[in-house]
A = this chain, B = another copy of it.
Amino acid sequence: MNIYDIAREAGVSITTVSRVINNKQNISAKTKEKVETILKKHNYTPNAFARGLMSSSIKSIGVVTVDIRDPHYANTAFTIEQDFSKLGYNVILCNTGGKTDESINYLRMLMEKKVDGIILIGSVFNDQQVRKYVSKHVRNLPIVLANGYLAVDNSYSVLVDDFYGISCCVEHLYAKKHTKIIYIKDAETYSGERKQAGFIAAMKEHGLPVDDTSIIKVPRGLEGGYMAVAKLVDDGKDFSAIIFGEDITAVGGIKKLKELGRRVPEDVAVTGFNNSTFAKCCDPELTSVDNKVETVASLSAKMLHDLIETKNVSSTIMIRPDLIIRKST
């Protein structure tokens, strides 16, 4: 059932039908009503491909994440999807698994499918090859990096002040008389660098000791945190507080601390990052930096939509995180 069939049945031209469908001017109320009846009767919907061929838009955007199973990314993607859904757009979901090749494949695919815009979630995508591809091939398609910084000309980002977030943790622990503080880092991304920089700066500001053994790099996830604590203890490192770069890593760390008979927060204070559900599940509940996922996601969505509508848009938005204090410190 296409526009011709409708036109024939209504005894009008396809132009008239098209006008009715798209609510255009210059239609007599009578004709309009007649056509609408037929439209409804057959439950007609225009062919999206033919439409796209004319308008070169199909009202959809691409959302690229490393892994939607990560609650942080899931939250962001959820908010973006809901916001864009209200605007009549669909969201195409892509999970790259953190592989650069995959990222570029997905970008290519999204461009072929002629999405109206793209949101990358996480500073992982501020990767050299991705940047190169974007600046070379994604020229006239709006692209926004949510929760991270994209070092490309004419690019747009919404990010959280990670530097500030971690330094808040140091402030808080210092106020509680901690001086031997460890930082557990779990990603070599832009965001990861900012967090580490915030740690170092805040420690130095209070004249607290920082050296190679105060910062430990571990794999992502529960196991990473577990391993970090194991290593600290194996190395005989002396510490009274640990700042983790992610909640889930902190959960793993606390698990190991408990196994070793160290009490949290009496023997060791612990902070996390993301203020996720894990922070509330954790026993004791985790002091964590709230990095305002929903806010970042919504602002990213709004930014992309403004770009699609070619409004004037600022290139970078930075959000201040909050420290949520719970039982673990």
Question: Contact: B82 with A78, CB < 8 Å?
Answer: no
Contact A280 B113 (CB under 8 A): no
Q: Cα distance A222–B45 when bound, in Å?
A: 42
Does A292 belong to the interface (CB within 8 Å)? Answer: no
| Stretch in contact with the other chain, from A16-24, A50-58, A116-124, A195-203 | A50-58
Interface string of A32-50 (1 = CB under 8 A from B): 0000000000010111111
Q: A281-B278, A282-B281 are in contact. Are A113 and B81 (CB under 8 A)?
A: no
Q: How many Å from the CB of A64 to the closest CB on chain B? A: 11
Query: Which residues from B are CB-within-8-Å of A85?
Result: 94-95
Copies of this chain per assembly:
2
Query: Which B-chain residue is minimally distant from A67 (CB atoms)?
Result: B78
Docked complex: A61-105 residues within 8 A CB-CB of B: 63, 67-69, 71, 74-75, 77-78, 81-82, 85, 90-95, 97
Q: Is A238 an interface residue (CB 8 A)?
A: no
Q: Which residue of B lies closest to A51 (CB)?
A: B49
A69-B74, A91-B93, A95-B81 known; A281 vs B222 contact (CB < 8 Å): yes
Contact B112 A93 (CB under 8 A): no
Q: Which residue of B lies closest to A45 (CB)?
A: B112
Looking at the assembled complex, report how far the CB atom of A108 sits from the nearest CB atom of chain B, in whole angstroms.
7
**Residue on B with the closest CB to A251?**
B281
Determine how close the nearest CB of chain B comes to the CB of A99; give it in whole angstroms: 12
Interface string of A265-278 (1 = CB under 8 A from B): 00000000000011
Q: Does A283 contact B (CB under 8 A)?
A: yes
Checking B63, B67, B114, B282 against A49 with a beta-carbon cut-off of 8 angstroms, the contacting residue is: B114
Does residue A237 face the partner (Cβ distance < 8 Å to B)?
Answer: no
A109 CB-CB contact with B under 8 Å: yes
Contacts of A167 in B (CB 8 A): none
Q: Which of A116-149 contact B (CB under 8 A)?
A: 137
Contact, CB under 8 Å: A68 / B78: yes
Distance in Å: Cβ of A327 to nearest Cβ of chain B: 12
Whether B137 contacts A43 by the Cβ 8 Å rule is yes
Contact with B along A221-245 (1 / 0, CB 8 A): 0100000000000000000000000
Contact A113 B90 (CB under 8 A): yes
Subset of 6 A-B contacts with CB under 8 Å: A45-B111, A49-B52, A60-B92, A69-B78, A91-B92, A222-B277
Further contacts, 8 of them, CB under 8 A, given A47-B114, A48-B114, A248-B281? A67-B78, A69-B75, A71-B74, A74-B74, A90-B94, A93-B93, A255-B283, A278-B281
